């Protein structure tokens, strides 16, 4: 009946097999084992085929090209002044043919150009090395080709240099900008030595015609001041008639060499080493929307009196003043008394010294308290204060929306949270506070203190319109204590974002933030086209639903946008 019938008959008869039969049975057994192995291999192939079909039918594969493009854009940093990872783009193009086609067809995915030099300050400037220069230019040309006609955003790090830049390198720098200059919208320029660029600009009158924003970050360069508007000063960026954002807060006294002629300038940030320069800049550009003046020193402000007739800056909405140690804030604001600022809604004061003000009676000074009463933002991150100083500042600042505080070791974290917590018997300090950044020296930070403070300013308020707090950031040196029942016993509003960061003693007494406090500076320049976080989240959620594949995709490419 089948190939095993003789074997079955022998088993039923119970007769012992002969030697010939034993050899046949052994051969049949080996053949049967091979058949079983083949069947197992076929079964594994069928299972793999089944998984392939399931992957083809998964929600991740059903994503439309436009949603994939939006997710791919999140692999690049949102901040235009941050160097991205070029390897991420190559990774996207190596996953599968569909991802490669989608990535290469997305022009706005390739319009972010990252050209960074060596991180070691002892290395030569990469632009002087022909091999490095060729590698960067090859990558840049590929990005320009795939970006099609999209506006370009360039992050250019020229690296370190301790020898003068010769004429050949200046010519190469000019040739570097030639293919991208007509489409360049934003430029972040970083260099150890700014002299070759400032004193011998490699640009022509037709170099940058569409440039909208620029950030310059030199290192450790100091020069004497001169009149930045004198007729014979060399223009740094000629013919930038559309320049709107000019951030040179780190350039320092080199500002006189950075003469610009744009009449459309809307945002400016400068490092002014004398108190009178803010007034001078504001007189030159009355149509500014936002202005930030840092490193204002003492004594020199009296040399620059306010204008004889009051001038009007009709559109200035944000004003940031950063003063050095020993400077009276009232003196800093004095030159602005000659201006009418009808649209001013954000006044930020920033202390850039280790002491806020000289003298023991500054807390009771009427002029100083008058200055605090007008502020919407206060940055004390570089000036640790005591408990009494914090109370005096907060009592005089009823309109603060953003607050940054660093505390001395004797000012414990519990006391800080207590003065910010609304109670029936308290005076409810800074009721309009929206963002709080604090750096404490307390060895232990307890989660309950933070939760009570947040709850008193949100859920316990009778009117939802009074709930202003939306972000709390706490930086602490050692331990954070949280109990399992904290979320049950003291729940907080989900709309409040809480960030915790731990530091170490070896990193310095106060490891400051790498970015500026005022919000617009964190995203200088126009936003890359298509980067709409809310729209992306809605589109992706509508496509992904709540499937596991969608969750994984959102967590991998956008962990800061995903909320379970």
pLDDT attached to residue 316: 83
Query: pLDDT higher for 514 or 161?
Result: 161
Which of 114, 103, 174, 157 has its CA nearest to residue 139? 114
Is 185 in contact with 526 (CB distance < 8 Å)? yes
Which of 301, 287, 385, 294 has its CA nearest to residue 337? 301
The helix or strand, by DSSP H or E, that contains position 492, with its residue range, turns out to be: none
Best mean pLDDT range from 257-271, 314-328, 550-564: 314-328
What does the domain layout of the chain look like in residue ranges? 4-57, 110-221+235-265
In which residue are the tokens 């809310």 written? 534
Which of 428, 423, 479, 480 has its CA nearest to residue 450? 480
CA 144 and chain centroid, separation = 24
Q: What are the pLDDT digits (tens) for 101-126?
A: 888 888 888 888 877 655 444 444 56
Q: Are strands 152-157 and 184-191 parallel, antiparallel or unpaired?
A: parallel
Q: What are the pLDDT digits (tens) for 370-381?
A: 778 888 888 888
pLDDT at 414 over 80: yes
- Integer angstrom CA distances of residue 346 from 255, 321, 511: 25, 11, 27
Instruction: Express as a percent the part of the chain with pLDDT over 70.
Output: 60
Best mean pLDDT range from 92-96, 218-222, 333-337: 92-96
Is 246 in contact with 266 (CB distance < 8 Å)? no
- pTM of structure: 0.63
Q: Exposure pattern of 358-395 as b/e (b: 16+ CB <10 Å)?
A: eeeebbebeebbebbeebbbbbbbbbbbebebbbbbbb
Q: Around 18, how many Cα atoms within 13 Å sit in the side-chain half-sphere?
A: 2
pLDDT at 153 over 50: yes
Q: What are the pLDDT digits (tens) for 292-341?
A: 877 777 654 444 555 556 778 888 888 888 777 667 666 767 667 777 88
pLDDT at 550 over 50: no
For every residue of 33-80, DSSP letters joined together read: HHHHHHHHHHHHHHHHHHHHHHHHTSTTTT--HHHHHHHHHTTS-SST
> Mean pLDDT score of the chain, rounded to an integer?
70
- Residues with Cβ within 8 Å of 238's Cβ and at least 6 positions away in sequence, in order, are 201, 203, 204, 205, 207, 208, 261
pLDDT at 522 over 60: no
Q: Exposure pattern of 71-90 as b/e (b: 16+ CB <10 Å)?
A: bbbbbbeeebbebbeeeebe
pLDDT attached to residue 42: 92
Instruction: State the distance between the two ends of the chain, measured CA to CA, in whole angstroms.
Output: 63
- Region 16-32 average pLDDT: 84
pLDDT attached to residue 139: 80
Is 220 in contact with 250 (CB distance < 8 Å)? no
At 37, the pLDDT band (50, 70, 90 cuts) reads very high
At 537, the pLDDT band (50, 70, 90 cuts) reads very low
At 508, the pLDDT band (50, 70, 90 cuts) reads very low
pLDDT at 449 over 50: yes
- Region 499-526 average pLDDT: 42
- Residues with Cβ within 8 Å of 318's Cβ and at least 6 positions away in sequence, in order, are 289, 290, 291, 292, 344, 345, 346, 348, 518, 520
Lookup: tokens for 435: 């963002």
Which of 381, 331, 385 has its CA nearest to residue 352? 381
């Amino acid at each position: 009946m089948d190939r095993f019938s003789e074997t079955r008959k022998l088993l039923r008869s119970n007769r012992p097999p002969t030697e010939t039969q034993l050899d046949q049975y052994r051969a049949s057994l080996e053949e049967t084992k091979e058949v079983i192995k083949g069947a197992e291999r076929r079964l594994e192939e069928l299972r793999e085929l089944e998984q392939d079909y399931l992957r083809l039918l998964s929600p991740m594969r059903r994503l439309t090209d436009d949603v994939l493009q939006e997710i791919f854009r999140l692999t690049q940093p949102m901040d235009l002044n941050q160097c991205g990872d070029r390897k991420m783009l190559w990774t996207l193009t190596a996953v599968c043919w569909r991802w490669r086609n989608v990535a290469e067809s997305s022009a706005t995915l390739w319009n972010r150009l990252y050209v960074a030099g060596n991180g070691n300050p002892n290395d030569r400037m990469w632009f002087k090395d022909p091999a490095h220069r060729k590698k960067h230019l090859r990558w840049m040309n590929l990005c320009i080709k795939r970006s099609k006609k999209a506006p370009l955003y360039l992050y250019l790090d020229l690296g370190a240099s301790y020898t003068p830049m010769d004429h050949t390198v200046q010519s190469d720098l000019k040739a570097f900008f030639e293919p991208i200059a007509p489409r360049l919208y934003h430029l972040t320029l970083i260099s150890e030595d700014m002299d070759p660029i400032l004193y011998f600009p490699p640009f022509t009158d037709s170099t940058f015609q569409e440039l909208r924003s620029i950030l310059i970050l030199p290192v450790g360069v100091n020069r004497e001041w001169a009149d930045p508007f004198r007729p014979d000063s060399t223009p740094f960026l000629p013919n930038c008639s559309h320049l709107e954002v000019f951030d040179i807060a780190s350039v320092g006294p080199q500002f006189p060499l950075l003469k610009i002629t744009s009449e459309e300038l809307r945002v400016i940030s400068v490092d002014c080493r004398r108190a009178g320069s803010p007034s001078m800049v504001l007189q030159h550009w009355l149509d500014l929307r936002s202005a930030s003046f840092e490193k204002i020193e003492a004594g020199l402000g009296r040399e620059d009196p306010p204008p004889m007739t009051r001038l009007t800056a009709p559109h200035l909405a944000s004003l940031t003043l950063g003063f050095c140690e020993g400077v009276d804030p009232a003196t800093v604001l004095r030159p602005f008394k000659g201006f009418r600022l009808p649209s001013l809604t954000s006044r930020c004061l920033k202390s850039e010294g280790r002491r806020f003000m000289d003298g023991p009676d500054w807390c009771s000074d009427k002029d100083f308290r008058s200055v605090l009463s007008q502020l919407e933002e206060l940055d004390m991150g570089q000036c640790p204060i005591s408990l009494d100083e914090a109370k005096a500042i907060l009592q005089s600042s009823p309109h603060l929306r953003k607050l940054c505080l660093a505390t001395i070791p004797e000012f414990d974290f519990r006391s800080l949270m207590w003065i910010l917590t609304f109670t029936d018997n308290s005076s409810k300090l800074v009721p309009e506070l929206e963002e709080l950044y604090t750096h404490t020296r307390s060895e232990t930070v307890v989660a309950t203190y933070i939760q009570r403070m947040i709850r008193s300013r949100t859920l316990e308020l009778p009117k939802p319109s009074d709930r202003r707090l939306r972000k709390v950031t706490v930086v602490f040196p050692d331990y954070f204590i949280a109990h399992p029942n904290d979320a049950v016993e003291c729940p907080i509003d989900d709309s409040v974002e809480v960030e915790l960061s731990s530091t170490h003693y070896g990193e310095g007494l106060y490891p400051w933030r790498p970015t500026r406090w005022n919000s617009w500076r964190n995203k200088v320049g126009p936003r890359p086209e298509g980067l709409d976080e809310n729209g992306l989240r809605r589109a992706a959620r509508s496509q992904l639903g709540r499937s596991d594949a969608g969750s994984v995709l959102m967590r991998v490419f956008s962990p800061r946008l995903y909320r379970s």
